[in-house]
Amino acid sequence: MRLLTYLRDGAVRHGRLHGEDRIEEFGDGDLSVWLAGPAAAPRGTEHLLQDVRVLAPIPRPAKLIGVAANYQEHVAEAGAPALDKNRLAPRLFLMPPTAVLAPGEAIRLPSVSEQVDWEAELGVVIGTTAKGLAVADALSAVAGYTVANDVSARSMSYGFDRDTDDPAVGFFDWLAGKWLDGFAPFGPYLVTREDVPDPQALDIRLRVNGVVKQHGSTKDMIFSVAELVAFASTIMTLHPGDVLMTGTPAGVGASSGEFLSAGDEIHVSITGLGSLINSVSARETP
């Protein structure tokens, strides 16, 4: 089942996508309403996809969790030594809900960075309240999957000189580079868990202006979806509608020194999950 959040007549609604262009409306509010407890009887009205504005499946997740360095080839392209997962915890970080961007909307280049990059990622939406999950049980806490782009600023500039020899500067710049408005587009819909029998067997591909930049498989994750969800749940209670982005394969712009420019179009696709398309718009003024 493919579930959508969208704007119709100025109000947020959620429903199910049928075929390529018809939505069966389930009710008011975004998909977090459905995740909290599906309505006994869907509203049953139908609308054409072209008559609504699709939003991110969860437009304002309470928690938006990222993971750094979860594909060995991406670690290698960054010049770092191979990671030994037996001696490593997943490198989770949190992003603000203001980073979420709807499918089709423009990623605005920020005033504080000249190096804005792409990261195609499998997105996971949590479906139940969960704490301390075992890996074997973790996927049962997942509502479904979506396509995500962990847009990342690779350098930050705030208009004054800083002590860039201090490693803490690099660490906090790295974090801040994930937090910018609109830097976490995901969608266009949520595919429910039962329709994704193996989240570790999905082809993932990203194109910029039609040119393939990333082409990987979720089988190459260092920590699987189940391991990431279980680990996150050892640290914090997960709730329905929390979103986890699972890391990016090789092929980011930083590895070749190529960054996004106004007018670019980014197209991310994952097997069975559709395509997430966002353009890039002009730099904001400070």
Residues that bind Mg ion (CB under 5 A): 119, 150, 248
Q: Are 69 and 91 in contact (CB under 8 A)?
A: yes
Pairing of strands 203-208, 107-108: unpaired
Token pair, residue 211, equals 């040119």
Percent helix, strand, coil in the chain, to 5, is: 20, 35, 45
Torsion of CA 267, 94, 124, 6, to 10 degrees: -60
User: Count of CB atoms within 10 A of residue 126's CB?
Assistant: 26
The residue type found at 229 is: V
Phi-psi region of 217 (alpha: psi -120 to 50; beta: other; left: phi over 0): beta
Residue 228 beta carbon to Mg ion: minimum distance, rounded to whole angstroms:
12
CB of 119 to Mg ion, least distance (A): 4
**With contact defined as beta carbons under 8 Å apart, do 265 and 91 qualify?**
no
> Taking the complex as a whole, how short is the minimal distance between the CB of residue 151 and Mg ion, in angstroms?
9
Shortest Cβ 241–Mg ion spacing (Å): 20
CB distance 110 to 180 below 8 Å: yes
Nearest approach in angstroms of CB 256 to Mg ion is 17
Nearer to Mg ion, 52 or 65 (CB): 65
Closer to Mg ion at the Cβ: 102 or 245?
245
Measured between its terminal Cα atoms, the distance across the chain in Å is: 43
Q: Are 189 and 266 in contact (CB under 8 A)?
A: no
Q: How near is the Cβ of 80 to Mg ion at its closest, in Å?
A: 14
C-beta nearest to Mg ion: residue:
150
Which residue, 89 or 282, is less far from Mg ion as judged by CB?
A: 89
Q: Which is nearer to Mg ion, 30 or 149 (CB)?
A: 149
CB 252, min distance to Mg ion, A: 9
Burial of 286 from C-beta contacts in 10 A (0-12 / 13-18 / 19+): exposed
Nearer to Mg ion, 105 or 150 (CB): 150
Polymer length in residues for the chain: 286
Report the distance separating Cα 263 and Cα 9, nearest Å: 29
52 or 221: CB nearest Mg ion: 221
Residue with tokens 């190096």: 115
Nearer to Mg ion, 113 or 248 (CB): 248
For residues 62 and 69, which CB has a smaller minimum distance to Mg ion in the complex? 69
Q: Cβ 251 to Mg ion, closest distance in Å?
A: 12
